[in-house]
Amino acid sequence: MHNHRVRAQYTKVGDLRFISHLDLTRLIERGINRARLPITYSEGFHPMPKIVYGPALALGINSKVELVDFSLTEPIIPEKFMEKMNQVLPAGCRVEKAQQLSLSAPPLAVINRAAYQVRIRVSPEINYATLSKLILDILEKETLLVLRQKKRRKREVDIRPYLLDLSVKNVDLKQVELFMLLAAGSDGATNPKEVLGLLNLDLTQPGILAERTGLFFEQEGQLFTLID
């Protein structure tokens, strides 16, 4: 059986930003079935669709750049794949790009960088000046310890090696915008929630909205995208 791969870039926005990664995978698998696309299944007693996802997106964060690979039993024109999926996916999840993958295409597992923008409503306590000072202090530190909890265990983790860039700019009189470039993947990572915590901010605060804006493979100081 031939293996034909399609890589898709899709959105997770609006109310969908509050569903877990596991629920998202179920949503996409249902979409594949409802669209009657020729997905490949694994062998064994419990066959599973051969779908590979990019790095999971933390709860509460929008994205229009999520990536997923599908293995299909027969070829399909990418535009047709997009059309069929978008007919069945719910609001907030839309395939924006799709392309056929060659055998030499790098897997999504190579993704090791993620970019984010965070819009913040200005207040007397939270503004360009106060955030600029906090960011300067943060970037000058050699160690940035955060507390992570996994199941019932808590441990301190130094996220300084994973915070690659952090800056702020004015958007208008009512908003500022943070830019973050963070390490992603299995070799070590952090996320906007942990970085915002260093700024005494939280994603659940009114007036704060985060979005993932890019997923990349970094090599020798250069960032490469994984979809055209």
The pLDDT, as a whole number, for residue 2 is 62
* Share of residues in the chain with pLDDT > 70 (%): 99
Which of 6-10, 12-16, 175-179, 186-190 bottoms out in mean pLDDT, i.e. has the lowest?
Answer: 186-190
- Give per-residue pLDDT as tens, 16-57: 999 999 999 999 999 999 999 999 999 888 889 999 999 999
162 in the same domain as 138:
yes
- CATH code at 94? 3.30.70.580
Residue where a domain terminates, one of 75, 108, 141? 108
Does residue 116 surpass a pLDDT of 90?
A: yes
| Structure tokens belonging to residue 186 | 């299995």
Q: Give the C-alpha separation, 33 to 123, whole Å.
A: 48
- Give per-residue pLDDT as tens, 74-84: 999 999 999 99
91 in the same domain as 149:
no
18 in the same domain as 92:
yes
86 in the same domain as 55:
yes
163 in the same domain as 91:
no
Is-contact 37 85, C-beta < 8 A? yes
Does residue 1 surpass a pLDDT of 90?
A: no
Average pLDDT over residues 109-129: 96
- pTM here is 0.94
Residue type, 92: G
- Give per-residue pLDDT as tens, 125-159: 999 999 999 999 999 999 999 999 887 888 999 99
Q: Give the C-alpha separation, 199 to 210, whole Å.
A: 14
75 in the same domain as 14:
yes
The pLDDT, as a whole number, for residue 45 is 87
Residue type, 161: P
* Share of residues in the chain with pLDDT > 90 (%): 90
97 in the same domain as 13:
yes
Does residue 175 surpass a pLDDT of 80?
A: yes
Q: In the chain, how many domains are there?
A: 2
Residue where a domain terminates, one of 81, 108, 135? 108
- Give per-residue pLDDT as tens, 217-227: 999 999 999 99
For helices 78-88 and 21-34, give the axis angle rounded to 10 degrees. Answer: 110
Three-state secondary-structure class, residue 85: helix
The pLDDT, as a whole number, for residue 49 is 94
Average pLDDT over residues 164-171: 97
Q: Which domain holds residue 121?
A: 111-224
Cα 121 to chain centroid distance, Å, stands at 23
172 in the same domain as 68:
no
Residue type, 114: A
138 in the same domain as 103:
no
Q: For tokens 């690659």, what's the residue?
A: 164
- Helix (H) and strand (E) counts for the chain? 4, 11
Residue where a domain terminates, one of 108, 141, 160? 108
- CATH code at 164? 3.30.70
Q: Give the C-alpha separation, 195 to 198, whole Å.
A: 5
- Give per-residue pLDDT as tens, 52-65: 999 999 999 999 99
Contacts of residue 142, Cβ cutoff 8 Å, sequence gap at least 6: 160
Q: Give the C-alpha separation, 4 to 23, whole Å.
A: 25
179 in the same domain as 101:
no
Does residue 183 surpass a pLDDT of 80?
A: yes
Three-state secondary-structure class, residue 20: coil
124 in the same domain as 137:
yes
66 in the same domain as 116:
no
